[in-house]
Amino acid sequence: MATVDLRSDTVTQPTPAMRAAMMAAPLGDDVFAADPSVNALQQKIADLLGFEAALFLPTGTQSNLCGILAHCQRGDEYIVGQQAHCYRWEGGGAAVFGSVQPQPLEHLADGSFRLSDIEAAIKPDDAHFARTRLLALENTLGGKLLPFAQVQAATQLAADKGLARHLDGARLFNAAVAQAAACGGAARAEARRIAQCFDSVSVCFSKGLGAPVGSALCGSRAFIARAHRIRKMAGGGMRQAGLLAAAASHALEHHVDRLAEDHALARRLADGLAGVAGLKVEPPQTNIVFADLEDDARDRSAELLAHLQSQGILATGLYRLRFVTHLDVDAAGVDRAVAAIRRFFGA
């Protein structure tokens, strides 16, 4: 029986067409800026999102690190959300490697910030305080699409206050597909519209887009030159990286619009779990479903995950379970997961 892996959209395998594109990729040495496939990918993602330049990096964590450190100096700070990946799940890299202090804010229910909280967090120009230099947002945040009006308002406030603006767009194209569905637009146009609210954007290719490795950091030529130097110090210079860049290029060309299928499967999963006693399911906006264990069921999370694994279904979580749909999950797999969870709860 095939495994249904709902742990993350990072677990995807390259499709046969993506593997063919990788094997056919022309290669060079990217440290010498001589890999044609890397150069083509960087130009493609920069043009798509409306930036002058882009930089290919091994991981989203390194992309965010290079972005923050290219905006900030030692003794500076960046305003960021409590649940943002670049604050909570990246090992404190900006503080550890760059001496850049995070100033975390609480999120509203929709993932955004109160504008008054952003403004209050900006420090005065005084030697007692770190210098506030940057606002960092994430979209999607835990699978939630940030309301575009809030993105516009927050980034405009930052610009008015002289702050740079960085987007962790690890799942930017999930956000764009969801935003396009809501407003009747096209996904790529919505991705560009979101990105243009920012001075820099990090995009991950190895999540919903299905490439095996890689992220890109987009910005001005001067910004990318600074980030390139930081990437070198962080050990991110790769040689014949065109094999990986070709996979990312293929993903951009073929895997953006299909993200709507993942979103539909997430809704199918959530609908299938609705009404199960002891389980509170959060309606998904994109491809991530959270289900909170309630009351007596809270002590059974490890038992539930073991039960699912015995049925060939993988998920993560403790009191809050997390299920992520992606291109290697189909409707039959989702239905298997729903049935196994319902059996566990006797529903």
What is the distance between the alpha carbons of residues 59 and 78, in angstroms, rounded to a whole number? Answer: 21
To the nearest 10 degrees (0 to 180), the angle between helices 221-233 and 60-71 is: 120
Q: Which of 254, 289, 318 is the last residue of a domain?
A: 254
Let me know whether 234 and 272 are in one domain: no
Which among 176, 331, 183, 197 has a CA at the least distance from the CA of 260? 176
pLDDT score recorded for residue 298: 74
Distances (CA, A) of 308 to 2, 4, 244: 13, 10, 33
Pairing of strands 164-169, 131-138: parallel
At 299 the pLDDT is 77
131 and 273, same domain (yes or no) = no
- Which residue range forms the structural domain that includes residue 318? 258-344
Identify whether residues 185 and 292 lie together within a single domain.
no
Q: CATH number for the domain including 111?
A: 3.40.640.10
What's residue 205's pLDDT?
A: 98
Residue 183 pLDDT: 95
Residue 130, in any domain of the structure? yes
- Of 226, 254, 282, which residue constitutes the final position of a domain? 254
- pLDDT value of residue 302: 87
The tens digit of pLDDT for each residue in 113-145 reads 999 999 999 999 999 999 999 999 999 999 999
Question: Would you say 139 and 146 are in contact if contact means Cβ atoms under 8 Å apart?
Answer: yes
Residue 3 within a domain: no
Q: Specify whether 188 is located in the same domain as 265.
A: no
d(CA 158, CA 146): 16
CATH of the domain at 295: 3.90.1150.10
Q: Do 49 and 152 sit in the same domain of this protein?
A: yes
Query: Does residue 273 form part of some domain?
Result: yes
Give CA separation, 79 vs 92, 140, 272, 273, in Å: 14, 17, 38, 36
| Token output for 310 | 């015995």
pLDDT number for residue 132: 98
| Residues 246 and 302 placed together within one structural domain of the fold | no
- The two beta strands, 215-219 and 53-57, are antiparallel
- pTM assigned to the model: 0.96
Residues 85 and 216 in one domain: yes
Q: Which of 311, 261, 317 is nearest to 286 (CA)?
A: 261
C-alpha to C-alpha distance for 73 and 88, rounded to whole angstroms: 20
**Does 264 share its domain with 332?**
yes
Are 210 and 253 in contact, with CB atoms under 8 Å apart?
Answer: no
Q: Closest Cα partner for 315 from 298, 291, 286?
A: 291
One domain for residues 194 and 288: no
Claim to verify: residue 265 and residue 241 sit in the same structural domain: no
Query: Residue ranges of the alpha helices (H) in 50-147?
Result: 60-71, 85-88, 93-98, 115-121
CA gap 206, 212 in Å, rounded: 5
The predicted pLDDT at position 99 comes to: 97
- The answer on 227 and 275 residing in a single domain is no
Give 198's DSSP letter: S
What is the pLDDT, as a whole number, of residue 174? Answer: 98
Percent of the chain having pLDDT more than 90?
94
Low-confidence residues of the chain: pLDDT under 50: none
The domain boundary residue, chosen from 203, 231, 254:
254
pLDDT of 72 reads 98
- Within-domain flag for 1: no
Q: Structural domain tally of the chain? A: 2
Residue 4, domain member (yes or no): no
Confidence at residue 301, expressed as pLDDT on a 0 to 100 scale: 83
pLDDT for residue 32: 97
